[in-house]
Amino acid sequence: MKLEVAVTKRFGAFALDAAFTAESDRLGIFGESGSGKSTLVGLLAGTVTPDAGSIHLDGDCLFRSENHINLPPERRRIAMVFQDPHLFPHMNVRGNLLYGYKRCAFKNRRIDLESLVQILKLEGLLERGVNNLSGGEQQRVAIGRAILSNPRLLIMDEPLSALDDELKFQIIPYLTSVCDAFGIPFVFISHSLLEMRLMADRVIVMEKGGVADQATPEQLALKRMGRSQVGYINLLRLKNPRQVDGLNAYRWGGGELLLTAGTTRQEALFELSSRDIILFKRHPEAISARNLLKCRVAAAFEVGNRTGLELECGGERLVAEVARQAADELGIREGGEVFAAVKASAFRKLG
């Protein structure tokens, strides 16, 4: 999906002036509240009209002020998922799901109800009223309703912000799997860097009504490392745990990681802060930390008054940070070897 945007829009004291070209099927728009993300979403979907400029999606013109082209929302085939589900309260689940499908031209109908219901696990809910579904179920129906309209682009405007942490990480796999399964490109809007890293592979950074940066989520996370209270968050997707003396052992990077946090599920996501990794120049004989990993320094970079290190460890990657003097004493150089120690309790389960 290729999105070319160059628009201006003024609302009282707030002015949006955004121009970017992005090519990605998993595009993120990242920024704090008030940065103009939601206005941009409205301009893309056609619910807000720009003052001037143009918007092109895959070469097709959606808006162009010079030629007075402004495709109405119903003809853009851009579906939306909002922060709140916004289901139609007077229809049951089936009625909601099929609302967009019934209005989609026959030639564009690729996705049908049965396969969608299967992926989103909505069996048994179809005849229910939408007001007595749980929050997670409602958001799944909202996603299904958008997907079933067979859009050429799906816009998700903070779809996870209203959900608690546990629910959030339950919904993410649905979002990614349903878009992958049906090949629907999406624009994902959020103020959470973590969500960006889980959902997008290209990110537009919005600040004060303008585009401040365009990068991959990883580049963005590394750039923001110095500003963050918790350093860089390493994300580890770990599978098939084994019980070892009350700890959970997961295979990772050619060895095993020992964690106190655990889950009964087969696969889980864990976070590890760059600040919770201690580095040794040589192998220490005995330490209390349960994980000692032999790593190669792939890159070293400045993060404020600290040194950030990208470590390569049995084919996996970890980011650590140490004080600058520590880096000097350790003799850190790219390509050199270090030992990283991580306490079993430093890993936090995300979902």
Partner 1 sequence: MVSFSPADYSAIYLSLKVGVTATFLSLPFGYVAAYLLTFKEFRGKIVLDGVVNLPLVLPPVVVGYLLLLLLGVNGWLGHLLNAAGIRIIFTWRAAVISSAVVGFPLLVRSIRVGMEGIDARLIQASRTLGAEWYDTLVTIILPLSFKGIVAGSSLMFARSLGEFGATIIVAGNIPGVTRTIPLAIYDYAGAPGGDAMALALCLVSVVISLAVLILHESLGVRLARRDRP
Residues that bind partner 1 (CB under 8 A): 45-47, 72-74, 76-80, 82, 84, 86, 88-90, 92, 99-100, 103-104, 128-129, 131-132, 145-146, 149
Least Cβ distance, residue 320 to partner 1 (angstroms): 44
Sheet holding 348-349, edge to edge: 233-239, 267-273, 348-349
Place of tokens 């048994």: 124
Task: Output 85 or 217, the one with its CB closest to partner 1.
Answer: 85
Task: Output 153 or 233, the one with its CB closest to partner 1.
Answer: 153
Least Cβ distance, residue 88 to partner 1 (angstroms): 6
Task: Output 133 or 268, the one with its CB closest to partner 1.
Answer: 133
Least Cβ distance, residue 151 to partner 1 (angstroms): 8
Task: Output 95 or 136, the one with its CB closest to partner 1.
Answer: 95
Q: How far is CA 343 from the centre of its chain?
A: 27
Torsion sign across C-alpha atoms 69, 70, 75, 81: positive
Task: Output 146 or 278, the one with its CB closest to partner 1.
Answer: 146
Least Cβ distance, residue 106 to partner 1 (angstroms): 13
Least Cβ distance, residue 131 to partner 1 (angstroms): 5
**Contacts made by residues 172-178, CB under 8 angstroms, sequence distance 24+:** 172/198, 172/199, 172/351, 174/119, 174/120, 174/121, 174/140, 174/143, 175/143, 175/199, 177/119, 178/116, 178/119, 178/120, 178/143, 178/144, 178/147
**DSSP string of 165-228?**
HHHHHHHHHHHHHHHHHHT--EEEEES-HHHHHHH-SEEEEEETTEEEEEE-HHHHHHHTTTT-
Torsion sign across C-alpha atoms 48, 49, 54, 56: positive
Least Cβ distance, residue 81 to partner 1 (angstroms): 9
Burial of residue 201, with CB atoms counted within 10 A of its CB: 0-12 exposed, 13-18 middle, 19 or more buried: middle
Whether residue 303 contacts residue 252, with contact meaning beta carbons closer than 8 Å, is answered with no
Least Cβ distance, residue 135 to partner 1 (angstroms): 16
Task: Output 10 or 281, the one with its CB closest to partner 1.
Answer: 10
Task: Output 73 or 136, the one with its CB closest to partner 1.
Answer: 73
